[in-house]
Amino acid sequence: MIVGNLINEYGNKHSPYLKGLVNHLPMAQLALYKMSQDLEKVKDFTETYVKCVDIDPVKTDYIKINSIEECLGKRELYESCLDIIRKEIKEKNIDEIIRYVLNTYPFGMSSGLFHTSIRLAYGVEGFKMEEELSEEVARALAYYITAYRKADIFERKINPTDILQELDRLINNEKIKEILQSKTTMGQKIKALYESEDYMKLGFLIDGDEDEKINTLLQILLPTYINSGSIVILHCITGLHALLVLKEYYNDFDTALDIMTTCVITHLLTNENLMFTTEKDRIIDFSWNYILSMCVESTDVHTLKFAYSCRELYKRNKMIELKKAAKKRLIRY
């Protein structure tokens, strides 16, 4: 058996949804396999996961619909949407459908705490590794569509060196505080922020090229995660990694990065007591081989996925904080 067959076996039985949460199994399977190259380890992890987690089954009785657009934001239509996606892939090709979805609905990249982008990125990486995983790409696209929640994009641009000052201005703005305090869930807070004219005017994008934007985002996300261990900030980091994996499919990647910046800042504000710097402590620089050898023994899906994303981001941005962040998650879980 190859890992694609294992992922498809469970993907065909299980929905992307897990009650009000997300089914992480296919993403964790791929992350674990890519870090360990050990199919038996992935099988053992899979069996443990499905015993412990009550994943929604794929429905066999569902309505037929005529277009992707009818499914937008309707998780109950996942199976109906998957039928259409599969048909579209057969009639056209998989890359064309990925491009269509990402460029038609770019504001869906942070839906479900960035999991729409994350699952699609894993699917694409898996498909490039094994053609059998075209099915996982189809499932990920159906998830992206049905889980869709519209984000937004700021307009004002700032110099990267001013980002801490600008974040402080946002965090301490009384109107924004009032919005955040008036809502209870993260989803409600995010929706209310996007609906606020004051927030959209105060929010900012990073002026610069692709590398400057990515580096600046990591420079605020990594210390904040290391200080807090926040699961929301963890997903901002893995969401950024997912966007980079999907870069080739965007017609305008610079705008996609600006949407991601807007999403990251908005998700950050739903966290309290944000600290964007860390103490200059003495860091023991373990190798990635050592870090990953510890991570692949974990049964925690986020530890696996986060370690994989940090290692992949490190190939592009040699920031020791990526190792420190991966170790932070490993120590906690």
Question: What span, in angstroms and rounded, lies between the C-alpha atoms of 49 and 185?
Answer: 27
Q: Write the pLDDT tens digit of every residue in 124-143.
A: 999 999 999 999 999 999 99
In angstroms, the CA 207 to CA 266 distance is 18
What tens digit of pLDDT does each residue of 293-314 get? 999 999 999 999 999 999 999 9
Nearest partner of 269 among 206, 333, 175, 197, judged by Cα: 175
Residue 291: per-residue pLDDT: 94
Domain boundaries, the chain: 3-146, 157-268, 288-332
Residue type, 251: N
Report angle CA 60, 62, 66 to the nearest 5 degrees: 130
Q: How far apart are CA 276 and CA 256, in angstroms?
A: 24
Residue ranges of the chain with pLDDT lower than 50? Answer: none
- pTM as predicted: 0.97
Cα distances from 329 to residues 128, 214, 228, 252, 291, in angstroms, run 28, 22, 10, 33, 11
Q: What is the pLDDT of residue 281?
A: 58
pLDDT of residue 278: 67
Give Cα 252 to chain centroid, integer Å: 19
Give dist(CA 128, CA 37) in Å, integer: 16
Q: Which amino acid is at 215?
A: N
Q: Parallel, antiparallel, or unpaired: how do β-strands 17-18 and 21-22 relate?
A: antiparallel
